[in-house]
């Protein structure tokens, strides 16, 4: 599939950004995104670590279909030890950010440690560096995205950031990208805030590669997109109403968590 084959590791305590090969054995075993990032996380942190301490790590991850023409090919996952439950936190978001990371040539970004001052990570293809974010601290996610895009003079760069909730480590704080898309589960934004990490901006122009049979791949995509388009939920309900359309579907199968699953 479309693996770039490398990840970024950012040590916020030391202020360093390094590149390392993707563990392809893990990628094949855990598929990518949520599964792969969870494997990295459990191998690298102490299970008893305080989620809001420098010892925790937080990972932005893509999968083998990210950046391709496949349905859901724009999504990415943020994985960390969550402050709300103390368990693994996996939060997924759509928009353009995930595909842009793959276009820049990276499969994942792992953040460790904690910065002494507000910073953001800038990624432009193979170049990645930490930048001062003191002027962004206290701003909303919309204001942050606007300021970063102006500073980088590129309207096509993609921003994933936190606002006041993340900065103040609200336990259910979200990470927001492309103004309206959010990794909104499990308090991943609080972990980002605990590390004084305001945002990640990425711009990629490399596209994706390594697809073994592009013609067969595109044919399979066309077939699956027709199935999704013809389905009442995925073809009509979700595009019109968003995920709230799933309330009845979830309730019908007995999975609606009414009163914390007591009903």
The strand pairing partners of 16, in sequence order, are 11
All residues at 6 or more sequence positions from 51 whose CB lies less than 8 Å from its CB, including other chains = 80, 81, 82, 83, 86, 89, 187, 190, 191, 194
Laid out side by side, the sheet with 6-11 consists of: 16-21, 6-11, 108-112, 58-61, 76-81, 88-93
Kindly state whether residues 80 and 139 are assigned to the same domain. Answer: yes
Residue 159: which residues within 8 A CB-CB, separation 6 or more?
97, 144, 145, 148, 149, 177, 178, 199, 200, 201
Q: What is the DSSP letter of 57?
A: -
178, 20, 111, 43 alpha-carbon torsion, rounded to 10°: 120
* pLDDT per position as a tens digit, 94-135: 999 999 999 999 999 999 999 999 999 999 999 999 999 999
Q: Enter the pTM of the model.
A: 0.93
| pLDDT for the residue 1 | 60
pLDDT tens-digit series, residues 198-231:
999 999 999 897 888 999 999 999 999 999 999 9
Give Cβ neighbours of residue 195 (< 8 Å, ≥ 6 apart): 12, 54, 58, 111, 113, 114, 115
> Does residue 258 fall inside a structural domain?
no
Query: Is residue 116 in a domain?
Result: yes
Q: Can you give the residue range of the structural domain that contains 127?
A: 6-203
Is residue 137 in a domain?
yes
Q: What is the largest CA-CA distance in the chain?
A: 53
- Our count of domains for the chain comes to 2
Q: Quick one: 56 and 115 in the same domain?
A: yes
Query: Is there a single domain that holds both residue 141 and residue 33?
Result: yes
260 falls within a domain: no
Cα within 13 Å of Cα(53), Cβ side: 8
Give the integer Cα–Cα distance in Å for 163 and 190: 10
- The answer to whether residue 49 sits within a structural domain is yes
114 and 158: one domain?
yes
Q: What is the pLDDT of residues 24-35, one digit of tens each?
A: 999 999 998 999
């Amino acid at each position: 599939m479309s693996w770039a084959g490398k990840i970024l590791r950012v040590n916020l305590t030391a202020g360093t950004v390094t590149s390392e090969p993707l563990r392809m054995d893990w990628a094949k075993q855990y598929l990518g995104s949520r599964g792969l990032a969870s494997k990295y996380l459990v191998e690298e942190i102490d299970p008893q670590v305080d989620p809001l301490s420098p010892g925790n790590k937080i990972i932005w991850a893509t999968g083998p279909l990210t950046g391709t023409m496949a349905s859901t090919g724009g999504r990415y996952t943020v994985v960390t030890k969550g402050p709300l439950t103390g368990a693994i936190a996996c939060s997924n978001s759509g928009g353009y950010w995930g595909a842009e990371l793959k276009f820049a040539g990276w499969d994942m970004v792992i953040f460790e440690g904690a910065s002494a001052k507000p910073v953001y990570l800038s990624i432009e293809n193979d170049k990645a560096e930490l930048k001062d974010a003191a002027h962004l601290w206290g701003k909303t996610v919309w204001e942050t995205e606007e300021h970063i895009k102006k500073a980088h003079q590129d309207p096509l760069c993609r921003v994933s950031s936190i606002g006041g909730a993340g900065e103040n480590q609200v336990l259910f704080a979200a990470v927001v990208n492309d103004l309206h898309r959010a990794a909104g589960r499990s308090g991943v934004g609080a972990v980002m805030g605990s590390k004084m990490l305001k945002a990640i901006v990425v711009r990629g122009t490399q596209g994706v590669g390594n697809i073994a049979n592009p013609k067969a791949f595109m044919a399979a995509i066309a077939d699956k997109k027709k199935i999704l388009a013809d389905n009442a939920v995925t073809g009509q309900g979700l595009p019109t109403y968003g995920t709230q359309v799933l309330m009845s579907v979830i309730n019908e199968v007995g999975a609606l968590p009414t009163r914390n699953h007591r009903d």
